[in-house]
Structures are given as structure tokens and as C-alpha cells.
Amino acid sequence: MRLPPPRPLSAAPGWLLHPLRWQRGGPVPWPAMVRGALGMGPVLALCLAAGQPQAGVLAGLGAMFAGINDRPGTWRSGAAHMALPALAGALGLLLGRTAGPWALPVLALVGLVSGAVSVAGPVWSLAGLQLLVLTAVGGGMPLTVPAWIGAAFFLAGAAWMLLLRLTVRRPPGGPAADERAAVAAVYDALADALEAVGTPAAEPARRALTAALDRADEALRLRALLRLPGRARAAAGLRTAARLGTAAALCEASVALLWEGAPLPPRIADGPRRLADAVRRDTVPGALPAPVSDTPARSAFDRAVLEAGLAFGAADPEAPPRRPRRLLVHPAGPAGREYGLRVAACVTVSTAVALLLHTGHWYWLPATAAFLVKPDFGPLFSRVVSRFVGTAAGVLAFVPLAGLLTGPWWPAAAVAAGGALIPFAVRHFALQTAVITVTVLAFVSVGGDRQAAASRLADTAVACALVLLVGHLPRLADTQARVGHRSAHALRHTRRYLDHVLTGPESEPRRAELRRAAYQALAEARTAAETAAVELHTGRTRDWLRVTTGAERIVDAATAAAVRLEHGAARPDAPAARRVAEALDAVADALDGRGDPPAGRPALEELPPDCLTLNDIVGELHRIRDLTTAA
């Protein structure tokens, strides 16, 4: 297997450089900006015209949070990202309004739950954040309306944004076109990965392919949950699901090509490109490139392309069996407990300090801490710096604005402009913070408070200092649970996958399910490792990026083993396969903190000479063991 060259060392540590980087890219999201402009501003203006400023603020907050969660993706994924967090935010308002003098313990408990559920996926993480922030807002914001009416206004604002998401710039083909685009993106990512074989870009291309598969899989899973009636829609969905299943088979063969590491002729990517175009147009691909089966991996890929052509031409395709997605890391596991403790500690300390200071807007401290400390949202030091800089910029922009503009309608215009800018501002946390600061101060000014800017900046500074201190306490800053547990989880999925490949009964659906579970767990581990790599560490820590890279190569080697065995390679004897499986378990236990990494590993000479894939697995286990021992 071809290994990438070592990465050059940076002149400055990652935690210092991260705040200076754009954290997201892509084209300008014009449709989302239009939806944002039509969201908060008109809602607030309507309520001001009706003489209900508090209703306008609460509905505007609901629209603001829904606008923040208006992410790119399919029609159904957008609805899920906006609806579930909105329900959690309304529940938070109810909890906060009814907490009374018990605000401190209630926020501590909600912080624990909010952090723990973050490991269940991005939608649950957003829901946990809104639950926590709105609990603080409900406990501290002076409101005259009953709690349930306030929650209803909040939901009405979120529902308005959701309606805009479902109506503003719907694709010409409706939701089905969104889902076809997600599946076509898998074929495009596959073609990119094939073009990168034999180059240093091969492993990043494979990760991009895994991410595309995850997005398409999630889109079709949501389609099954939020299905619209109609036989034609059902047939179109079945066809799209079948084409995603075909893409998964092609991806397995492509991983074997990546593992072989030999550069491929440019024409090999033509087949996936034509299939991607056929998926988008919902047609058949036409003629596909002729096969050149000179290696087991090429034979497997050419056969998969042939089967794809047949599947695309089938009149009544059968969708592959789909099982409900399991949580990769259960909220009650080590990562969930660590997340929960970190969020709860920071929010509790911030709430206690805020209540001691008796500030008029005491809820700003715990709400700021909640935005900062969520470990899955990025490195803590970078977010603290960006939050303070963004708040200062927002205050400096708001003060002259509030001085120049007069009349009852300027807050509506200000929040309309903020709503339009939020979808663009998500490219960097500091920019997003600046836009939200102006928007929130405009909401506060609706109640007649135009002097809140200075206290907003002071409270942000206090919250940033508290989170920076508490969040880096030794127990709370340990990356073992956040990254080690995920890496161990991925290796255990890999062990099950390898067991099935080497000893299990031949079952393509089961093998595909195990392979997808392993790669999904790896994607979770990679994300956590990339965040840990740019965290500010107070002591020595393991090189988690190299650990997860080794785990990725192990899964790639297991996939290559499946392809090679299917095409006549000699099957290793049972003792050799068992030794490798035991070694995987031992390294996973060490990464999970359940024991020290054992010194013994299966030696390469103990395996049959033609078991190249198992030799790769053992070599990566050696490297992971060395990294674990060195730390």
C-alpha cells in the first residue's frame, strides 16, 4: 500500500493559527440569505405593528436560531436540522421560565444533558445547544407573557423560517432532485478518488468519498421517515436508493484500488462521471468504458461498473436492505460523559458568577458559555478568541447604528439585515458572532434598552475567561474519551468487518452494512482528532490524527482483503486471522483506556507470504501501538 509523504511541520502551533483560518468555504448561499432577510425582520415588524414587542422578540429569536441551522442539504435534511432544535428551544424556554430560584441547578442538569446528547449526531447536537441556551434565556429574560405563550411565539418564528426553507428556491424537480443530487455527488466523489489513486491526495479523496456516502445515506434515510404520498414518488425513491446501493458496491472496489496504490488511466473515472450525470437526470448512463481487468481490484471494479450499468437499466430496481442507523457513540458512553461534564461545569460556573454579579442580563454569561464549550463545534481556544473579537466588532458596529437611527422600525430593518448575513457569516465563528451580536442588541433595544452594548461586551469577556479556565481543567480537557473512544469504536467495527470477511458466511448486504459502520465510525474519529489537533493542550497528548489515519488504513486493507478473496486470493488460515483480530481488540482497549498496549503483536513472518492485506493491518497496528506507548 502506498503511504502519503509526511506532512511538513507548521511554524506555529495549530491552536494559535486556527482562529485565523476560514472555517467553511463554498459559494455564497444566496437562497439562504434571501430566506434570512425574509425571516426575522418581517416577523418583528408585524408584531411591532400589532403592539406586541415581546411576541416579536420571541418569534424573532425562533427565526434567528432556525436561520442559523439553515444548512445546505436536501429538503428533508434542512427540515430536520431546523425543526428538532426548534422544539428543543421551546422546551428550554419553558424550563427556564419555570425554574425560578432553581436556575443554577436546572442549568447544570440541562448542561449535562446538552453535552451528552451532542455525540449522537449533528441534529441532536444543535438541539442540545438550543435547549441549553434557551433555558438560560427563559430564566433571565424579563417577560410578561405566560411561559407556554412565549414558547408558542418562539415556535411560530421557527415555523416561519421552516416554511421559507420549504418554499424559497425549491429545486425544479422537488425533493427528489435534492436526493438525486446527493447520490450523484457520491459518484462524482468516487471519480475524484480514482483520479487521485497513487498520489498524496488519495487518502483525503477517500475521506471525501466517505463523507459523500454518509450525506446520501442520511438523505435517503430521512426520505423514508418523511415520505410524501404517491406511487410515482415511491418508484423514484426506490430507483434512487438502488443507485446508492450500486454506488456503495463501486466504492468497495475503489477502496481496493486505493489500497493497491498504482496510478490508474484517466479513462477509469469516466464510468462514475457518466453514472453521476445519469443519476442527476434520472436516466440511463449509455455506453460505459470497456473493462481492463489486470489486477483483482481492477477486476472487481470493472465488474461493479458492469453491474451498475445493468442496475441503471432495470425497469423495476430493488433497493438494498436498509437497517436503522445505530448511534456510533452512545450518549451514556465515555465521550458522552466527558462532553456532558465539560459543558455542565462551564455553564454552572458562568451561571453562578452571573447571579453573584446581579447583572440585568445575567443569562448572557451561561448562554455565551454554551456556545463556546460545545466540544463538537470546534477547538475551545479558537472559539473563545473568535467570540470575543466578534462581539467587540458587533458592539462597535451597533453603537453608531443605534445613535444614528431613530423611530420604532429600525430594529426590524437591523435584524432583517442580520438575518440576510447569517448564512454567509457561518464561514467563520468571529464573523457569525459579530452579525448575531448586532441582531441580539437590536432585539434588546425593542424593549427600550439602548445601553446594553457595553454590558454585552463585558459579560462576553467574563464568560470567555471562565470557559477558558474551566474548560482546560485536566479532567475536562482530556482527549482520551473524545478521540480515543471513537478510534477504539472504529477499530472494534473493523474487527467485526474483518471477521465477516475472513470467516463469516458470504453475505453482500451484511458485509456492506459492516463496512459502512466501520467507515462512519472512522469519520467520527477523524472529526474529533482534527479538533483535538488544534486544541490548546496543557500537557503531552497523543497524536490522534496519526492514530485515526492508521485506523483508516486498516479498514481500507480489510476492504481490499474482501475484494481479493472474492477474486481468488488465498484465504489465510484461522489461527492467523484470529491473531490479527485479537491484536485489533487489544489496541482498541488501549485506546479506550481499558489497559496498556501489549508489547506483543503478530509478527509479519507469522502470516502467509501472500496475505498482503493482513500484513498491512499488522503494520498499522504496530504504528498505532508505538504512538500509544510514546504518549
pLDDT digits (tens, 9 = 90+) for 30-51: 889 999 999 999 999 999 999 9
User: For all residues of the chain together, what is the average pLDDT?
Assistant: 83
Which range among 146-155, 207-216, 240-249 shows the weakest confidence by mean pLDDT?
A: 240-249
The 3-class SS string of 320-382 reads: CCCCCCCCCCCCCCHHHHHHHHHHHHHHHHHHHHHHHHCCCCCCHHHHHHHHHHCHHHCCHHH
Rg (CA), the chain: 26
Are 150 and 58 within one domain? yes
Same domain, 133 and 192: no
Can you give the pLDDT at residue 2? 47
Please answer whether residues 382 and 534 qualify as being in contact, where contact means their C-beta atoms are separated by less than 8 angstroms: yes
Confidence (pLDDT) at 369? 95
Between these two residues, 69 and 311, which has the higher pLDDT value?
Answer: 69
Q: Same structural domain for residues 352 and 487?
A: no
Q: Are residues 81 and 133 in the same domain?
A: yes
Query: Which pLDDT value is given to residue 586?
Result: 85
Nearest Cα to Cα of residue 591 among 558, 621, 614, 613: 621
Q: What is the pLDDT of residue 605?
A: 45
Average pLDDT over residues 472-498: 82
One domain, residues 165 and 179:
no
**Domain stops at, among 470, 501, 534:** 470
One-letter amino acid identity for 106?
V
Residue that is last in its domain, among 470, 491, 525: 470
Q: What is the pLDDT of residue 537?
A: 75
- Give 607-630 pLDDT, tens digit per residue: 554 565 777 787 888 888 777 765
Q: Are residues 339 and 303 in the same domain?
A: no
- Residue 163, pLDDT > 90, answer yes
Residue 563 has pLDDT above 90, yes or no: no
What pLDDT is recorded for position 430?
94
Residue 603 in domain = yes
Other Cβ atoms closer than 10 A to 113:
17
* Alpha-carbon span 387 to 461, nearest angstrom: 9
Dihedral of alpha carbons 55, 58, 61, 65, sign: negative
Q: In the chain, what percentage of residues exceed pLDDT 90? A: 35
Phi-psi region of 483 (alpha: psi -120 to 50; beta: other; left: phi over 0): alpha
| 289 lies in the same domain as 346 | no
d(C-alpha 428, C-alpha 435), whole Å? 11
What is the per-residue pLDDT across 296-350, written as a single tens digit (0 to 9) for each?
778 888 888 888 888 787 656 555 555 545 555 667 677 788 889 999 999 999 9
For residues 511 and 500, the answer to whether their CB atoms sit within 8 Å is yes
- Residue of 163 and 536 predicted with greater confidence: 163
pLDDT of residue 33: 92
Grid cell listed for 53:
414587542
Judged by average pLDDT, the poorest of 23-27, 334-338, 453-457 is: 23-27
Q: Which residues of 512-533 are buried (b: 16+ CB within 10 A; e: fewer)?
A: bbbbbbbbbbbbbbbebbbbbb
Name which of 210, 219, 224, 204 is nearest 279 in CA terms: 219
| CA distance linking residue 629 with residue 538, whole number of Å | 19
Q: Are 437 and 443 in contact (CB under 8 A)?
A: no
Does residue 218 sit within a domain? yes
In a domain, 20, yes or no: no
Residue 282 covered by a domain: yes
Look up residue 596 and give its DSSP letter: P
Residue 391 has a pLDDT of 96
If one counts every other C-beta atom within 10 angstroms of the C-beta of residue 497, the result is 26
* pLDDT beyond 60 at 3: no
What is the pLDDT at residue 386?
A: 95
d(CA 411, CA 441): 9
Other CB atoms within 10 Å distance of the CB of residue 470: 19
593/494 same-domain check: yes
Q: What is the DSSP letter of 483?
A: I
End-of-domain residue from the set 254, 281, 313: 313
Residues 233 and 283 in one domain: yes
Band (pLDDT 50/70/90 cuts) for residue 8 is very low
Q: Is the pLDDT of residue 29 over 50?
A: yes
Tens of pLDDT, residue by residue over 495-517, are: 888 888 887 666 677 888 888 88
Four-residue CA torsion sign, 232, 235, 241, 245 = negative
Q: Would residue 287 count as lying in a domain?
A: yes
Q: How far is CA 427 from CA 23, 114, 378, 422, 481, in A?
A: 6, 24, 13, 9, 28
Q: Is the dihedral of CA 544, 111, 460, 387 positive or negative?
A: positive
pLDDT of residue 112: 95
Going by C-alpha positions, the residue among 312, 327, 325 that lies closest to residue 279 is 312
* Least confident span in 87-96, 390-399, 401-410: 401-410
Residue 603: the pLDDT is: 46
Does the residue 13 lie in any domain?
Answer: no
H runs (alpha helix) in 471-507 = 479, 485-502
Place of cell 471513537: 486
Range of the domain at 180: 175-313
Give phi and psi for 90, each to the nearest 5: -65, -40
Range scoring the smallest mean pLDDT among 134-143, 232-241, 259-268, 291-300: 232-241
Within this chain, do residues 165 and 54 fall inside the same structural domain, yes or no?
yes
Which of 85-99, 163-177, 289-303, 579-593 has the highest average model confidence (pLDDT)?
A: 85-99
**Residues 6+ positions from 355 with CB-CB distance below 8 Å:** 103, 104, 362
DSSP 143: -
In a domain, 328, yes or no: no
Domain presence at residue 323:
no
pLDDT-derived band at 234, boundaries 50, 70, 90: low
The number of distinct structural domains making up the chain is: 3
360 and 444 share one domain: yes
Helix, strand or coil, per DSSP, at residue 69: coil
Query: Do the Cβ atoms of 207 and 227 come closer than 8 Å?
Result: no
| Residue 525: closest CA among 374, 348, 329 | 329
Over range 247-266, report the average pLDDT. Answer: 84
Query: Which residue shows C-alpha cell 453482500?
Result: 508
| Whether the predicted pLDDT of 148 surpasses 90 | yes
- Contact between 489 and 593 under an 8 Å Cβ cutoff? The reply is no
Mean predicted confidence (pLDDT) in 385-412: 90
Q: Which of 344-358, 369-383, 491-505, 553-567 has the highest mean pLDDT?
A: 344-358
- Whether this prediction's pTM lies above 0.85 is answered by yes
For 15, 140, 174, 227, 320, the CA distances from 240, given in Å and listed in that order, are: 42, 49, 14, 14, 11
Grid cell 481468488 in the structure block, residue: 568
Residues 356 and 494 in one domain: no
